[in-house]
């Protein structure tokens, strides 16, 4: 990838800062950084919409993102507000399905972006590092699913 070493270092620091990839060694982090990019979004800017093709995932480095889903009446309902360190969009990147919700910047946002094709390239070129990245993403998704399950049970009481 045509990333400068300064940009790679900046992305590596952002990856370290988010805490998702603590299982990666320093060398693996530097290698993985070359597959990520940085995206900037302004308040009210759409990052992606429900139903879009899932071509990338994001990790919030700075700012906040609202997650909206359309209800049966077509109204956008806010499901969550995500903050620094939180990954989103990863389901579509991993399973290739369309976006299950819309994500909109609430404030100025700086996001780490991992495109699906970059993840595929990482799998081909550095399978062990890619496996650790995917595992970290899966663990974060699993924790969220367990929390959601807990909330559903509480609502039934």
User: What residue spans define the domains of the chain?
Assistant: 5-156
Q: For the segment 53-69, what is each residue's pLDDT rounded down to a tens digit?
A: 999 999 999 999 999 99
Q: For the segment 32-48, what is each residue's pLDDT rounded down to a tens digit?
A: 999 999 999 999 999 99
pLDDT of residue 19: 86
Superfamily of the domain at 5-156:
Jelly Rolls (2.60.120.10)
pLDDT of residue 140: 86
Within its chain, how far is the Cα of 90 from the centroid? 5
Structure tokens at 76: 């956008």
Within its chain, how far is the Cα of 97 from the centroid? 15
Pairwise CA distance, residues 84 & 126, whole Å? 27
pLDDT of residue 32: 95
Say which residue, 95 or 81, is predicted with more confidence: 81
Give the confidence band of 131 by pLDDT, cuts at 50, 70, 90.
very high
Mean pLDDT of the chain: 90
Q: What radius of gyration, in Å, describes the C-alpha atoms of the chain? A: 16
Can you tell me whether residue 153 is helix, strand or coil?
Answer: helix
The strands making up 46-48's β-sheet, listed across from edge to edge, are 46-48, 102-105, 65-70, 76-82
Structure tokens at 107: 């404030």
User: Does residue 18 carry a pLDDT above 60?
Assistant: yes
User: Does residue 124 carry a pLDDT above 80?
Assistant: yes
């Amino acid at each position: 990838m045509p990333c400068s070493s300064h940009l790679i270092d900046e992305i590596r620091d952002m990856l370290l800062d988010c805490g998702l990839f603590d299982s990666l060694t320093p060398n693996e982090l530097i290698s993985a950084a070359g597959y990520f990019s940085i995206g900037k979004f302004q308040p009210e800017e759409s990052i992606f919409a429900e139903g879009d093709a899932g071509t990338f995932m994001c990790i919030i480095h700075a700012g906040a993102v609202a997650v909206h889903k359309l209800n049966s009446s077509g109204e956008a309902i806010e499901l969550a507000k995500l903050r620094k360190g939180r990954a989103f969009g990863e389901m579509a990147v991993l399973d290739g399905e369309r976006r299950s919700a819309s994500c909109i910047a609430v404030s100025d946002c700086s996001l780490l972006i991992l495109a699906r094709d970059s993840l595929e390239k990482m799998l081909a070129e550095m399978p062990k590092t890619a496996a650790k990245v995917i595992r970290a993403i899966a663990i974060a998704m699993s924790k969220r699913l367990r929390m959601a399950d807990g909330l559903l049970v509480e609502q039934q009481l």
